[in-house]
Amino acid sequence: MSRLQATGFVIHRRAYRETSVIVDFFTRQYGRIAVVAKGARGAGKSDRKSLLQPLQLLMFEISGRSQLKNLGLLEAVQSPIRLQGLGTYSAMYLNELLMRAIPETEPMSILFEQYQQSLLQLAELDVDSPTEHVEVVLRNFEFVLLQDLGYLPDFTTCADNAEEIAPQQSYCFIAEQGFVRCPPTQRYALSGKDILDIEQRHYTQSARKVAKYICRQALLPIIGDKPLKSRELFVSQ
């Protein structure tokens, strides 16, 4: 029976049989993987149960010949990342997005680094931090996710004729294609200046609004139109 080592974060867990849980990890080495943690559920306290929580980088072993592996050795690499307020809901959103968007066992090392960096950036925020700081963290993560999956649009040229995006022109965004010129009066017309600002990660108030719209539309073919539960938490705040 082969044993593999990995480092990663818990992004989801669900009950399995009487005392076990199925844990979804987002790992540096293997992307998203699901493993069975035996004895991790029940009334008693255990180190394994306390470790299998989000926001903590873990090192662990997995083994087994079936598609659903078993969790072996488990230990913390560092202390849990502490979040509060919108930072907590943002991390839940990132985890739910990973569960819906990325296939299992496909390594995504760049996205993993962005995920870890995003959590650390969210940890720097306090309850009084402006919401735009959270928005920038989320948009940057979504753009890396879209890039890794091959869905990130070209922010410098038109999709239909390869003309350069012009700051004074208006464009419509078409998911899985990109930007095409349109009249400024057309519904959901976007400013070329905002598109170019996003390309440079220059997040003005207007660019943040456009970036959110683009990410929502670009993610639809990947995650579908079923609402994300974590987004409802933002609305309720």
Q: What is the CATH number of the domain that holds 230?
A: 1.20.1440.120
Copy the structure tokens of residue 218: 């670009």
**pLDDT < 50 regions, the chain:** 1, 236-237
Q: Given this model, what pLDDT does residue 229 score?
A: 82
Stated pTM of the model: 0.93
* Tokens read off for 204: 């003005």
Same structural domain, 124 and 225: yes
**Do residue 51 and residue 154 come from a single domain?**
no
Domain identity same for 173 and 191: yes
Domain hosting residue 205, numbered range: 86-236
Q: Is residue 81 part of a domain?
A: no
Q: 130 and 223 in one domain?
A: yes
- H-type alpha helices, 124-174: 131-149
Element (H, E) at 223: helix 205-223
Q: What is the pLDDT of residue 126?
A: 83
Give 97-144 pLDDT, tens digit per residue: 999 999 999 999 999 999 999 999 999 988 777 899 999 999 999 999
Backbone φ, ψ for residue 179 (5° rounding)? -105, 135
**pLDDT at position 65, please?**
76
